[in-house]
Structure 1
Amino acid sequence: MSYRRIKNLVIFTLLFGLSSSVYGQSSEDKLGSWYIYNGFFNFNPTFELFVESQLRNWETFSNPENFFFRPFFNYNLNQNFQTGLSLEYHKTWTYDENPGNKVSTDEFRTTMQVMLHHKISRVALQHRYRYEFRWVDGNHLQRTRYRVQATVPINNATMEKGTIFFNTNFEFMVDTKPSVALSQLRNYFAGGYQFTDNLNLQLGYMVISRTTSVHHRLQFFLTHKLFFYEK
């Protein structure tokens, strides 16, 4: 991959990050954190169970903000095109220094997803489209999402054991029910290490921009894959 292409990718990502920061009006003074597990369980080349669970904190090591469990049932039409359907449970807490004063909200969600993959030189690009049906404390909401992601191996040409890599993505979300409105923007930067062909760890930083606030979050990201067939 040429230096010019890498430079253009970095500039493109930084511009998205700047747009996210400008969108929010005020910055939250707490540095929060997300602890993320992603598991890919492949039963054959066509069917995959993807399991994601997250604990999100208002502060780096304390004050829970959100917990969710999200299994996706995925179908691969080919190597570069995947569809999926999820059934999800989310629990969210308001911010308060006193745990006894925190108010919780339960959400059940069904999500339809389409993912497209392609490569430019060694850069792996992913386009993810989601449409969410959300039931939040009895209220029916809907939202659409689009995320573009780039993963670049640094010291190897491919994502193999021992690879150091850079990952970045940009996502926007738009509420569609009860009314159409921009919900939030997310910009993510991370470095990672590939321990085996099927296990990696990322440490990242995300800027989340809403109409009235900007949130800054550290991300600790464990991803692993299991194959129940011979590749």
Structure 2
Amino acid sequence: MKLKVTIVVLLLSQFVFAQDKDLGSWHVVNAQLSLNDKWEAFTELQTRSNRFFDDFFYYEIKGGVSYSINSNFSVLVGVGRYATYAGEGNFVKPFGNEEFRIWQQLTMNQYLDRLKIEHRYRAEQKWMTDGYRNRFRYRLNAMLPLNGARLVPGTLYLNAYDEVFLNNKVPHFERNRFFAGAGYILTPVTTVQAGYVNQYNYTLNKRGGKNFLQFSLMLQFEYDEERERIPHLMD
């Protein structure tokens, strides 16, 4: 298993060095606390940089609670603060945008043998520097454990998703985000994940794409140690 993890790290390293200087990096720390078999609290911190671990321009911090209706359906409410810096360098003001956001979310899960598929629907209310906006998101996520049927400590898995962003202002199709990567469940609490993100904006003043390498640390504090650890970021 250590050999598999080493191979994944080496492949990602080769990808980094093969890219130009404009490849960004995306960093996530996520913590989830299961209170019982229905309720869960979470918090998440993110930073992003325009270049690989340099020229940091964005951070967000958010949290909320979720409720599992059953094993296939859950609902969530979250709040967060999001800041984008316009200056050159690391978190250099002025702000390009400051935002306070509330969102509501419905998640549906499907299981096709070992393949775990997630459909995520989200409605957001965004108070931004340039005014208020509604946004709607749909994410299709697939996760495949490689060395077992369940996501438990010692499992290496593949993960990929595509997400579309819609809003109530023209142009209504705002953004597309694609991710592909791999993760490893180190312990009952700790999971690490790394992968490639392509984000393309379709708005009139921000049209264009950006590539990132994303590195994530997920901490899952489960009330039941026998439960399957299904890593999921709140982004």
- Normalising TM by the smaller chain, what interval? 0.7 to 0.9
- Alpha carbons 2:123, 2:135 under 8 Å: kept: yes
Q: Deviations over 1:115-152 (max 9, x none)?
A: 11121010111111111000012611110000010110
**Structure 1 residue 42: Cα displacement:** 0.5
Superposition pairs for residues 31-180 of structure 1, below 5 Å?
Answer: 31-94=23-86, 96-97=88-89, 102-137=94-129, 139-176=131-168, 178-179=169-170
Residue aligning to 2:190:
199
**Structure 1 residue 72: Cα displacement:** 2.0
How many residue pairs align between the two structures? 203
**Structure 1 residue 109: Cα displacement:** 0.3
Q: TM-score, normalised by structure 1?
A: 0.81
Q: TM-score, normalised by structure 2?
A: 0.80
Q: Deviations over 1:171-229 (max 9, x none)?
A: 000111x4451111011001111112332101110011122211000100111211246
> Match of 1:84, SS?
strand
- Alpha carbons 1:42, 1:48 under 8 Å: kept: yes
> Match of 1:78, SS?
coil
Q: Deviations over 1:1-25 (max 9, x none)?
A: xxxxxxxxxxxxxxxxxxxxxxxxx
**Structure 1 residue 103: Cα displacement:** 3.5
1:217 aligned to which of 212, 221, 228 = 212
Q: 1:59 to 1:85 in 2, by over 3 A?
A: same
- Alpha carbons 1:114, 1:129 under 8 Å: kept: yes
Runs in 1 of length 4+ with deviation above 2 angstroms?
94-105, 227-231
Residue aligning to 1:22:
none
> Match of 1:158, SS?
coil
> Match of 2:173, SS?
strand
- Alpha carbons 1:90, 1:108 under 8 Å: kept: yes
Work out the CA distance in 2 between the residues paired with 1:100 and 1:57. Answer: 12
Larger mean Cα displacement after TM superposition, 97-106 or 194-203:
97-106
Give structure 2 stretches of 5+ with no counterpart: 1-19, 227-235
**Structure 1 residue 98: Cα displacement:** 8.3
Q: Percentage identity across aligned positions?
A: 26
- Alpha carbons 1:81, 1:117 under 8 Å: kept: yes
Work out the CA distance in 1 between the residues paired with 2:64 and 2:107. Answer: 12
Report the RMSD for the aligned CA atoms in angstroms: 2.0
Work out the CA distance in 2 between the residues paired with 1:39 and 1:145. Answer: 22
